[in-house]
Chains A and B, each alone.
Chain A
Amino acid sequence: GIQVEQSPPDLILQEGANSTLRCNFSDSVNNLQWFHQNPWGQLINLFYIPSGTKQNGRLSATTVATERYSLLYISSSQTTDSGVYFCAVNFDYGQNFVFGPGTRLSVLP
């Protein structure tokens, strides 16, 4: 069946450290987005990235659609980066997103 996997499931970092989050998906995709869910539950769009590489400040993302994975890079992490990071994928045959299980990030001061 359709699968979206994320790794690692949990990550604890010291403030200032860098990290890489991975998303693997089982089928070809139309769209891929990365979200940050903050402690208040809001889903914040980070990147819309069905392919290629994008950067936004300390964050960047790369999607290699042919190899069915995407990476989210966080550099110089801050405590406000804490929360759950979701990868969500829209497969070729449907409109809705299938979310991965998320990576829970804790950044310690």
Chain B
Amino acid sequence: DTAVSQTPKYLVTQMGNDKSIKCEQNLGHDTMYWYKQDSKKFLKIMFSYNNKELIINETVPNRFSPKSPDKAHLNLHINSLELGDSAVYFCASSFTSREQYFGPGTRLTVT
């Protein structure tokens, strides 16, 4: 009965590769998000998405793109991975303007 799930939990890859992280929520929420958490625990929002609107944090490189096949899924695709992309990525979901429920995180290591 996991609320927000992400796969994989760990991802190790080389620079220049393209990878995807999957996220699913079974809470019936209308909004999903992707966050990046750096080594100092700073949480930075990357995207906010519902079936009406995609809000992109302007500091996010366009190598990152969210893809939503349906309301319950928001996948994160990353092109041409760089060393600085190494971080923990969290998916979250919520009803609009309410508290968010976070997934367990995906630790991405780029070598």
Q: Does A associate with B in a complex?
A: no
